[in-house]
Structure 1
Amino acid sequence: MPTGWLDIHAHFSPPGTPEQVRSVWQAMRDECFLMPDPYVWSAEEALRHMDETGVAMQLLSQVPRVHGVPDPAAVHAGISASNRYGASLVAQRPDRLGLLAALPTDSADSALAELRRTDELGPDGYLLVAPYAGVHLGAGFLEPVWGEIEQRGKAVLVHPDAHAPAAQGRPSPLAEVAFDTARSVIDMLYAGVLLRHPGLLVVLAHAGGAFPSLAGRLELLGTELWVPNPHHVTQSELREQMSRLYLDTAASGSDGLLGPAVHLVGRDHLVYGSDSGTPCTSGSNVKTVIEQLHRSVALGPGFAESVGRRGFDLFPQATRRASGSTVSRTA
């Protein structure tokens, strides 16, 4: 088993021309994400920061940009290209980097085609955006997609659409993403996805967003007669599905966020994620979350280390590659 932590939630950006980088920067500013300068990701900087924070391996993913791109085919092509680039990064440093391949979920055919294409890339797991182009993860047409993911036995990270339009004059990554995660998870639960696919391993980004705080309300009221429930999911089935979820710690190290998460799934279903590699996550914020995990009353003494290493249990393929690495925190 490698030393250090496994960060299951980190991002990368494929290289672009100066014009492309500036175009993305301007699009983000148009959605109230007021970065003073364009953001450029580099593998070298990611590895340096991993060394500083005691991270043995990061699983990289890219959240596709759907809004503002009118041609779904162009988005799908971009996702495929991004997945291939991510795989090339892993090939260069297989002991330190892994890949969660993104899948488009606006249609079953598109998702299945990309899923099968990524088989040759050997991803460690998959990234599903919730919602993707307005489609939540309980959509009935996604049933064969869940089936094929389950057959592969690889975990899924459910991530909100960080490129969604601003709300109330503030960028979506500030608050809206938390509610989008809750909406999609609730959609999955009422669709009974985890009941039909008991082999699925699903991790929710950002400690599940707003979902842990809503779970008690859902359990109390969610099966009342006035609530549409076409699949007749029972209260115990709601509870069963919720208990199977894993939650990552990205931007969620405070006890105000960890408390509801622990209450919902227990300490053993929390896994470390940093959300590194995006302009909304600074290096200092990552270090703050790690410090919060170590001090957390909700976790209790010593549990931060378990959370930091839990990803090695969930992603065995990555763990085998990381087994030769030795990392200790340098700052």
Structure 2
Amino acid sequence: MRILDSHFHWWPRTFFEQLCARKDFPKARRNANGGYDYWRKEGSTGLLNLEPEWFDLETQFAYMDRLGHQVDVVCSIGPLSIHFSDIPAEEGRDAAMQWNEEMAGAQRKYSGRLWASAAVPLVDTGIALEVLDHAICKLGLMGVNLPGSVGNDPRIDAERLEPFYSRVAELGIPMFLHPTDAVFQDVLEGYDGALHLTMGRVMEVSVAASRLIFSGIMERHPNLKIVMSHTGGALPYQSGRMDKNGARVRLPHPPSTYMKRMFTDTVSPHSLGMKFAIEYYGIDNVMYGTDYPCWDPAAALKLLDELDLSDTDKEKLFYGNAKRILGLRAPAEACVDQARSEPAHI
């Protein structure tokens, strides 16, 4: 079976080597396993304790090849996406462009097997637009990453960011919404990070998506293509509460209408969570994803086997949906297609 993993992480080692040379927070250091530990700020719990496979695509692909399927991947940033908004605006721009160049290089090297999305700093809207256009229209990346907060600021629905969301919608690219380790990390500290990893990231991505709905951003930009990680966080389970309380916002439609316009993955470590995501969003809006290396693809495949999907639904879930939803094409074809839009903000 051919598979497209829509939630996959590879981080460039060269980028982390530069973080190791950084004197101020956020910064990284090499760990005893051959990977890196990363801290956002002084005194914070080091939740990003990364093994070497995070930084070696050949090792990652070798593991995928042992699964017995042809596995292609969509590379997004994950919790590190906040880093580019944690540092001064100009430094964030340079760091994001460096990251995006690395992603574009991998996309070229593994053409047709790996697609990659862009880092964008959000503390300055003009810089965000500049980096976005460079990543999509010049480098040919296929999407953009949206952290759950702008540094410590949870207001990803800030009015100043309206031109950014407008441009993402205009480009027609997917925007990957992933939690970070900012808003809830201190509130849910302790237990060697278990409480935050279990609840904090789910809460952050849920709050961030709710802000995109309640603010009217999704109403004003009906073409905005948002991919929520981790089966949509808590939102599908609280859809009724969103509609009940969301009436205060006075949107033209119930909040759940906008939520069902979003897309999601199957990153949930139990089959009931996967099943409910498919039932809530519909089979056409859910894509296979593993969060690898955070989660074992073999375990994800085993849980999906328990759902007893039809062959037609399996083809959609494992391959067809991601190809269609994310607009995946060969990089050369994508660059020609993107050239139709002149970069309006550089």
Structure 2 residue 207 is matched with structure 1 residue 192 = no
Report the secondary structure of 1:186's partner residue: helix
Partners of 1:77 and 1:47 in 2: how far apart?
A: 29
Equivalent position to 1:216, from 219, 240, 246: 240
Gaps of 5+ in 2: 21-27, 334-346
Aligned residues of 1:253 and 1:293 also touching (Cα < 8 A): no
Q: Map 1:165-314 to 2 at 5 A.
A: 165=185, 167-170=188-191, 171=193, 172-223=196-247, 227=248, 229=249, 232-234=250-252, 236-250=253-267, 252-277=268-293, 281-282=294-295, 285-296=296-307, 300-302=309-311, 303-309=313-319, 310-314=321-325
Normalising by the residue count of structure 1, what TM-score does the alignment of the two structures yield?
0.81
Structure 2 match to 1:143: 162
Describe the SS at the equivalent of 1:274.
coil
Q: Provide, for residues 178-217 of structure 1, a one-character-per-residue CA deviation record: whole Å limited to 9, x for no partner.
A: 0001101111111122221121221101111112112221
By how many angstroms is 1:69 displaced?
5.1
Deviation at 1:135?
3.6
User: Hey, what does 1:316 align to over in structure 2?
Assistant: 327
SS in 2 for 1:220: helix
TM-score, normalised via structure 2 length: 0.78
| C-alpha displacement of 1:173 | 3.2
Does the CA contact (< 8 Å) of 1:204 and 1:246 recur in 2?
Answer: yes
- Alpha-carbon offset, residue 98 of structure 1: 0.8
Identity of aligned pairs, percent?
20
CA gap of 1:34–1:139, structure 2 versus 1, over 3 A, is: closer
The 3 A distance-change label for structure 1 pair 222 and 311 is same
Q: RMSD between aligned alpha carbons? A: 2.9
Aligned residues of 2:104 and 2:116 also touching (Cα < 8 A): yes
Distance 2:156 2:44 in 1: 28
Match 1:60 to one of 52, 58, 75: 75
Aligned-residue offset at 1:52: 2.5
Gaps of 5+ in 1: 323-331
Q: With CA pairs under 8 Å and 6+ residues apart, which has the higher RCO, 1 or 2?
A: 1
2:230, 2:210 → 1: CA distance?
Answer: 16
Would the aligned equivalents of 1:21 and 1:40 in 2 still touch at CA under 8 Å? no
Post-superposition Cα deviations, 1:134-182, rounded to whole Å, max 9, x if no partner, equal 2433222221111111111111111111566352314343321100011
Q: 1:286 to 1:168 in 2, by over 3 A?
A: same
Shift of 1:75: 3.0
Alpha-carbon offset, residue 218 of structure 1 = 0.8
Establish whether residue 22 from structure 1 lines up as the match of residue 11 from structure 2: no
Say if 2:146 is the partner of 1:125.
Answer: no
Contact 2:286–2:317 (8 Å) recurs in 1: yes
Q: Which residue of 2 aligns with 1:327?
A: none
